[in-house]
Amino acid sequence: MWEYTDKVKEHFLNPRNVGKLDDANAVGEVGSLACGDALKLYLKIDDKGVIRDAKFQTFGCASAIASSSVLTELVKGKTVEEARALTNKDIAGFLGGLPKEKMHCSVMGQEALEAALKNYWGEKYVAPTGEGELICHCFGVTDEQIRRAIRENDLKTAEEVTQFTKAGGGCGECILDIERLLMEVRGEQAPAEGVAPVAEEKKPKRLTNIQRMQLVSKVIDEEIRPSLKKDGGDIELIDIDGLNVVVSLRGACVGCPSAQLTLKQLVERRLRETVEPDIVIQEAQ
Amino acid sequence: MSHGPAQDKPQVIYLDNNATTRVAPEVLEEMLPFLSEYYGNPSSMHSFGGKVGGKINQARERVAAALGCDPREVVFTSCGTESDNTALHSAVSARPDKRHIVTTRVEHPAVLNYVKLLEQQGYSVTWLPVDKHGRLDLEHVREAIRADTAVVSVMWANNESGTVFPVREIGAMCREKGVPFHTDAVQAVGKIPVNLKEFPCDYLALSGHKIHAPKGVGALYVRKGMLFKPFMIGGHQERGRRGGTENAASIIGLGKAMELAAAGIQDENTRVKALRDRLEKGLMGAIPEALINGDPVNRLPNTLSIAFMYIEGEAMLLLLDQFGICASSGSACTSGSLEPSHVLRAMGVPFTYAHGSLRFSLSRYTTEAEIDTVVRELPKIVARLRAMSPFSADSETEGQHKAVAACAVERSTE
Ligand code: FES
């Protein structure tokens, strides 16, 4: 059983503002039955742009119900501008935290609020799944949603991305794409945080064979192998011949239909970014 | 000395017996001396250890009597998972030239994940599908068995749906083709008659804590003459088939539990079944848009998996918990994964229902009053959550749910 805070339990057992709001002038709807949770948020906003009333309907678990309940409490009395600044962190924070596996419930609250505000401003609301490239087909999550979750919540692993967005929580076929997005976004963020990705800080202009060898094995050991290991896979560096890097996939990666994709999209791409742009990956026969 | 009033104990209506069971008082009583005064090592030469060894032998005889097999065909293990893993390990390593395995999509993770591991190691696997009631098609099994099949592994009864598989027929097919047959009987033992006399099966796994013995003990039946490779390598215990000092008290408990299970089969199939049916009828009569997951005819007598549209399992479980009612859910949110259970998915249960599935599993200790409490409280809980759901019948979102339901059905039957 999940460990819930008293606040979560309270809002789950006695949710505030349940139901439809007949005179709502802003309605936001996110999620679906197929995904296992959905939220419909109704807002009544007055002429001065103040949210006078808020109600919700939720299909989902205890955290989804509690997050929705808190959301309605948080937005009441706020101006639309103030409401717009609310994030999933505010929702989870108000509840005294959510189990990490349930953080996506708070994200659903934030998305429903955004959808309702768009609806209020007369913008046609496009479900988040409609923006950007669809990454997770099981749960209809796009690259934009994933990038945003990584940035706003400082996510570091694919597992965390799943906890916040659900992406990767089904068949798992999108995990490699999630890893790619993680590397990309965290790469962007690195200079600001002062944490450069592995191997980037001391990359010389022209590499000697020894330097190349050291750098390749460092990136494989510190970045690529841990991400493959999470899915039960592994990789072994077999040889380096000039710019040709020969590797062998191990564990769950052996015989995986996406093995070629892994080699090209994850291994080769990352080595090109961090070591040399002309590196070519070859699989040992 | 008093240990406090009995009413301090939480009031629990325990209807999650396919997950685990309470230890029967008779079982505990037999175990206790072997947790205190009789602590000798059963492998020792002295009579103090010998007494423990003798009790283990008695337990083996009791297990064998309940299964209808020879005591030498019983290997004690730590759990059902170890029994399943050992059977599969044994079957494939005894015939290294055979590189194909037949199993079903709805096996317990003890089989499912072990076979997946073998698949990663290069074995080819036929994953047999089930129909919407969780049933297997015997023709599919027949077609799946090949000349290079190392083992066929089909559970006797499914832990979630309760559907009972035609293991006798499958075993006979395997025997005809000379292929070893393993069955995970963890849910079947104690609930339906299991008699291995003349039964065409080579390996059978069972677990103690599903039949009122403690957790951490199981047994594996290995038919006489079957090639066997130990999974646990160590000393000479279990005639070299499983190294490691025996979990003596638990094994002794398992022996007693098997004796009680065999004696209780009649009760399970009459009184317990009648209680299950009362629960099913009560809930189906009081809650619209509900459906039963599992075979209407060939189902474990203690199991009811029931699904309610528009709502989610975890929320129901937590509200049931307010009344001390313990059940389990096939929904995603309770399991740490995000998709509904692999069993419900394999059965093609639409998402609209799968997320709102509950499983009640009864035991010999279940009472009529407990069942009546569930029948009284659950309809209110379902109504309360449905009133909150944007998909409930009176919602404007109803159109959307129909579209999603249709797409979900399509997806789940892919
Ligand atoms: S595509 Fe993302 S989990 Fe299946």
Distance (angstroms) between ligand 1 centre and the Cα of B24 equals 44
pLDDT band at B270 (very low <50, low <70, confident <90, very high): very high
Ligand 1 in contact with A137 (CB < 6 A)? Answer: yes
Q: Phi and psi at residue B295, in whole multiples of 5°?
A: -70, 125
Do the Cβ atoms of A262 and A256 come closer than 8 Å?
yes
Question: In this structure, which amino acid lies at residue B383?
Answer: A
In chain B, what's the furthest Cα-to-Cα distance? 78
| pLDDT of B111 higher than 70 | yes
Distance between CA atoms of A33 and A53, rounded to whole angstroms? 26
Q: Out of A162-171, B248-257, B328-337, pick the least confident.
A: B328-337
| pLDDT of A227 higher than 80 | no
Return the DSSP state at A232.
T
Q: Which residues of B touch A (CB under 8 A)?
A: 120, 122, 310-315, 318-319, 321-322, 331-334, 336-340, 351-352, 355, 387-391, 395, 397, 400-401, 404-405, 407-408, 411
Residue B400, pLDDT score: 44
| Over residues A194-218, mean pLDDT | 63
Instruction: Between B123 and A32, name the one with better pLDDT.
Output: B123
Distance (angstroms) between ligand 1 centre and the Cα of A142 equals 11
Do the Cβ atoms of B262 and B72 come closer than 8 Å?
no
Distance between CA atoms of B312 and A58, rounded to whole angstroms? 10
Helical H segments across B183-294, by residue range: 248-267, 273-286
pLDDT tens digits for range A104-159: 999 999 999 999 999 998 876 555 445 688 898 888 888 988 999 999 889 999 99
Residue A256, pLDDT score: 67
The segment with the largest mean pLDDT, out of A173-187, A268-282, B155-169, is B155-169
Taking Cα atoms as reference points, which of B89, B80, B110, B103 lies closest to residue B189? B80
Ligand 1 in contact with A100 (CB < 6 A)? Answer: no
Taking Cα atoms as reference points, which of B389, B376, B401 lies closest to residue B287? B376
Of the partner residues B312, B319, B351, the one whose CB lies closest to the CB of residue A60? B312
Q: Is B333 a catalytic residue?
A: yes
Distance between CA atoms of A203 and A10, rounded to whole angstroms? 54
| pLDDT of B98 higher than 70 | yes
Q: Out of A5-14, A136-145, B285-294, pick the least confident.
A: A136-145
| Over residues A191-207, mean pLDDT | 49
Instruction: Between B406 and B152, name the one with better pLDDT.
Output: B152
Return the structure tokens found at B116.
């997946």
Ligand 1 in contact with A259 (CB < 6 A)? Answer: no
pLDDT band at B410 (very low <50, low <70, confident <90, very high): very low
Return the structure tokens found at B69.
């097999």
Residue A252, pLDDT score: 74
Q: What is the pTM of this model?
A: 0.80
Closest residue of chain B to A257, computed from CA coordinates: B120
Give Cβ neighbours of residue B180 (< 8 Å, ≥ 6 apart).
B91, B95, B150, B151, B152, B174, B202, B203, B226
pLDDT band at B5 (very low <50, low <70, confident <90, very high): very low
Distance between CA atoms of B26 and B80, rounded to whole angstroms? 22
Residue A188, pLDDT score: 67
Q: Phi and psi at residue B18, in whole multiples of 5°?
A: -80, -15
Residue B409, pLDDT score: 35
| pLDDT of B61 higher than 60 | yes
| Over residues B188-214, mean pLDDT | 97
Distance between CA atoms of B88 and B110, rounded to whole angstroms? 10
pLDDT band at B308 (very low <50, low <70, confident <90, very high): very high
B314 contacts A36? CB cut-off 8 A: no
Please list the active-site residues of A: 35, 105
pLDDT tens digits for range B136-194: 999 999 999 999 999 999 999 999 999 999 999 999 999 999 999 999 999 999 999 99
Distance between CA atoms of B181 and B196, rounded to whole angstroms? 13
| pLDDT of B241 higher than 50 | yes
Ligand 1 in contact with A173 (CB < 6 A)? Answer: yes
B311 contacts A62? CB cut-off 8 A: no
